[in-house]
Homo-oligomer: A and B are copies of this chain.
Amino acid sequence: MNQIEDMQTFVRIVEAGSITKAAEQLNTVKSAVSRRLSQLEKRLGVTLLTRSTRAHTLTEQGKSYYQHSLRIIEEVADIEAGLTQQNYALSGSIRIAAPLVFGLEHLSQALLAFNERHPEIVFDVDFDDRKVDLVEGGFDLAIRIAKLEDSNLIARQISSTRMVLCASPAYLKTQGTPTTPQQLSTRHKKLQYYRSLENWHFVEDNGQSVNIKIPTALTSNNGSFLLECAIKGTGLLYSPDFICHQAIKDGKLTIILKKYLANPTIPIYVLYPQNRHQSHKIRHLIDFLIEYYGDTPSWLID
């Protein structure tokens, strides 16, 4: 039972004026069209077309069915075409999950810039450092700043960040500025981001790698707050450059032990579900983000 094809066939018969002509126009044989019509009438339990060898007349029901069919066929076509257009249109909403600080400080700027070009798009950004389930949360994409784990999501790297170790000039003046990793062990405290590792990983001049653990002055799940604390001299901050770059440029924080840090570079990815047909606007936004941050993002130090 294919109601739409029945409608299309019936409309063709009515407009062509004969089953034979309708069959030609539908690129099929008259027997198929004849059978379709009689099956349709049987299903509806109604005579649509009174037919003799060479003349046709629409019954009242036939007229009604014809008119409704015209409308339905058009509506269905519009709906299906509309979906594709929607797919290509740079409009509608994009729902994004982003880490707190990166989202507020950097992603927001990029999104605003994108929005200037494509004002029809409405962003719905959820700032949260916790790992969210894209599918369950209904997100179109998520920003993740970390090495990738296995998942059924697609990832594209949009930029990268570099970890730096820094402290306020005042703090360094009081506690001394360490020049080797080993010197951290004495008289230093760290500002601890709740998700990151307790130990800091260094590579010494001789190529030996070393794990250093120093006491924690304060733990928080908010990178900005830790930054404030570092500026106030509460302790050492081990932080991605996109968080502390401005404070460093302003001289409020000083980088230390730069050359000893192991694996300081962390990729920034955009993740999205494995959709067979990716919406055009999503692809467009990802391309935009890659271009926006580029090889020299604003948080780059030197």
Closest chain B residue, CB of each to CB of A69 = B79
In the bound complex, do residue A79 and residue B65 qualify as a contact, i.e. CB atoms below 8 Å apart?
A: yes
In the complex where A2-B2, A42-B276, A80-B44 touch, is A93 in contact with B60 (Cβ < 8 A)? yes
Q: A56: shortest Cβ distance to chain B, in Å?
A: 8
Write out the residue numbers on chain B whose beta carbons fall within 8 Å of the beta carbon of A87: 45-46, 61
Which of A42, A50, A68 has the most chain B CB atoms closer than 10 A to its own CB?
A50
Instruction: Tell yes or no: A182 within 8 A of B by CB.
Output: no
Q: What is the CA–CA distance of A64 and B83 in the complex, to the nearest angstrom?
A: 8
Q: For the complex, is A185 an interface residue (Cβ under 8 Å from B)?
A: no
Across the interface, do B84 and A273 meet the contact criterion of CB distance under 8 Å? no
Q: Pick from B47, B58, B138: contact of A275, CB below 8 A.
A: B47
Q: How far is the CB of A13 from chain B (nearest CB, A)?
A: 15
How many copies the complex holds: the figure is 2
Q: Is the CB of B52 within 8 A of A83?
A: no
- Kindly state the separation between the CA atoms of A103 and B97 in the bound complex, as whole angstroms: 80
Q: Which residues of B contact A220 (CB under 8 A)?
A: none
Contact status B279-A61, CB under 8 Å: yes
Known interface pairs A55-B133, A72-B72. Does A60 touch B46 (Cβ–Cβ under 8 Å)? no
Chain B residues whose CB sits within 8 angstroms of the CB of A4 once the complex forms: 2-4
A residues near B, CB below 8 A?
A: 1-5, 38, 41-42, 44-47, 50-52, 55-61, 64-65, 68-69, 72, 75-76, 79-80, 82-84, 86-87, 92-93, 133-138, 152, 273, 275-279
9 contacts between A and B (CB under 8 A): A1-B2, A41-B277, A44-B84, A46-B84, A47-B275, A47-B277, A52-B135, A59-B279, A65-B79
